[in-house]
Amino acid sequence: MKTLILYSSHDGQTKKISEFLTALLEGEVIVDELREDYDIAPFEQVIIGASIRYGHFNKTLDRFIVRNLVYLEQKRSGFFGVNLTARKEGKDNPETNVYVRKFLQRTKWQPELAAVFAGALLYPRYKWFDRVMIQFIMKITGGETDTSKEVEYTDWEKVKVFAQQINALDK
């Protein structure tokens, strides 16, 4: 099985999750950044991971899917969304996470597997505007507001389960 994991990551957590999956998946696995023109033809399986920033996935994700829909429908496929909302119980699966649910409802692509993972809060790495805006959002939503902290919310056991589900598609 030749698997391609494409990621769209703003601050690096989605990339980190993608690379973590690489070690858990069976067969040959290639990880690369999502680009509209990526040639997915040589792969039997495609997994796409994308992060949310200010309530939206990167527009490249939608353009990629439109451009590759026919190919995606012919392959085993999976999708995972990464966002800070998923740090909260009840907002951490594809059916209850507003961003992933809406994405899967509006896209014509219907991956065989979908997952949601909580991201990371990396205040010291953010530019001033992002730090202030994210701190404001976290204050409203009851999250961490100490801008000297970095907090990783990703549940790595949940990522392992997703990898097991991907491996089971091949069986």
- 30-88 per-position pLDDT tens digit: 999 999 999 999 999 999 999 998 889 999 999 999 999 999 999 999 999 999 999 99
User: CATH code for 2-119+154-169?
Assistant: 3.40.50.360
- What predicted TM-score, i.e. pTM, was given to this entire model? 0.93
- 116-160 per-position pLDDT tens digit: 999 999 999 999 999 999 999 999 989 999 999 999 999 999 999
Question: 17: Cβ–Cβ under 8 A, 6 or more apart, which residues?
Answer: 7, 49, 80, 82, 117, 154, 159
Alpha helices in 2-148 (DSSP H): 13-24, 59-73, 98-106, 128-141
Domain ranges for the chain: 2-119+154-169, 121-153
